[in-house]
């Protein structure tokens, strides 16, 4: 199973705090962690851990943070030949605050991610494709337009996209906030649409009709960062393997549940055996 991910690459600076700050509030007593992140990189790493052969296309800066951001993917064997180094812009950084229940607040400084252009893409993308919206929209839409196979579009963070992308995607994944932003436009194409609802579960729709629903297994949450990316990777892998929609949705919910039990986006990505064990448990 071959998957190409066109997406963002960040270094996540995560402060685990007693509580999340209100506007203007300073919260002390936090501990700091540094983890590879970025939606594109997270999804590439998670898909590789779940059994896919993954290539990542993206951009980093010519700085020390680039090595940290790429380290786990390189160790795992993700193909990074499509990752270019920008001599002018820094590697993207996400500043993340996490409270003891796993809830978070995230601010992203995109850096080199905003300089990924259509010229960096191959003329044809023959593997299955996963995209998100942390790169320039023109680049994301160019990738979708050049794809010849299965396309998963994780429309996050929410932003206006073309009718072509909405109709071309075989699978669209959004959370409740993003689903409200796009409205009925999500369902105008013939592809499947998944709306995730955190600990409440996820629903899969076809042409606006709910076809499947799944709730995640109960776990003790530590950090929700990266859980949505683990979900996207897992449901893509499951559907490409031929799982029926309900089974694929349960598999993805379990992958997201494993992810929230430990800190960091990529370090929390589950092994396939962990997902299956949680489903069996």
- Reduce the DSSP state of residue 94 to 3 states and report it: strand
CB atoms within 10 A of CB 32: 8
DSSP β-bridge partners for residue 202: 196, 214
63 is catalytic: no
Give CA–CA dist 265/210, Å, rounded: 29
**Would you say the C-alpha torsion 273, 274, 278, 279 has a positive or negative sign?**
negative
What string of DSSP letters covers 104-151?
EEEEEE-GGGGG--GGGS-S-B-SEEEE-SSS-HHHHHHHHHHB-S-E
Catalytically annotated residue among 79, 86, 170, 229: 229
State phi, psi for 38 to the nearest 5 degrees.
95, 135
Do 125 and 7 meet the contact criterion of CB atoms below 8 Å apart? no
Give CA–CA dist 27/87, Å, rounded: 36
Active-site positions read: 229
């Amino acid at each position: 199973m071959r998957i190409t991910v066109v997406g963002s690459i960040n270094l996540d600076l995560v402060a685990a705090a007693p509580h999340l700050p209100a506007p203007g509030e300073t919260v002390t007593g936090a501990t700091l962690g540094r983890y590879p992140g970025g939606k594109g990189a997270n999804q590439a790493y998670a898909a590789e851990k779940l059994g896919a052969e993954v290539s990542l296309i993206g951009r980093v800066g010519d700085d020390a943070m680039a090595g940290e951001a790429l380290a786990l993917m390189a160790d795992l064997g993700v193909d990074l030949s499509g990752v270019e180094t920008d001599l002018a812009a820094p590697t993207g950084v996400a500043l993340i605050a996490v409270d003891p229940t796993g809830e978070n607040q995230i601010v992203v400084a995109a850096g080199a991610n905003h300089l990924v252009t259509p010229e960096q893409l191959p003329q044809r993308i023959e593997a299955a494709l996963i995209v998100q919206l942390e790169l320039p929209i023109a680049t994301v839409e160019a990738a979708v337009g050049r794809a010849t196979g299965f396309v998963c579009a994780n429309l996050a963070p929410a932003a206006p996209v073309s009718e072509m992308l909405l109709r071309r995607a075989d699978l669209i994944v959004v959370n409740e906030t993003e689903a409200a932003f796009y409205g009925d436009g999500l369902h105008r194409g013939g592809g499947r649409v998944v709306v995730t609802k955190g600990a409440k579960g996820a629903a899969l729709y076809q042409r606006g009709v709910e076809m499947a629903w799944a709730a995640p297994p109960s776990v003790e949450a530590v950090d929700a960062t990266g859980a949505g990316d683990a979900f996207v990777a897992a449901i893509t892998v499951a559907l490409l393997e031929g799982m029926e929609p309900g089974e694929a949705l349960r598999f993805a919910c379990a992958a997201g549940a494993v992810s929230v039990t430990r800190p960091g986006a990529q370090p929390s990505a589950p092994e396939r055996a962990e997902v299956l064990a949680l489903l069996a448990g």
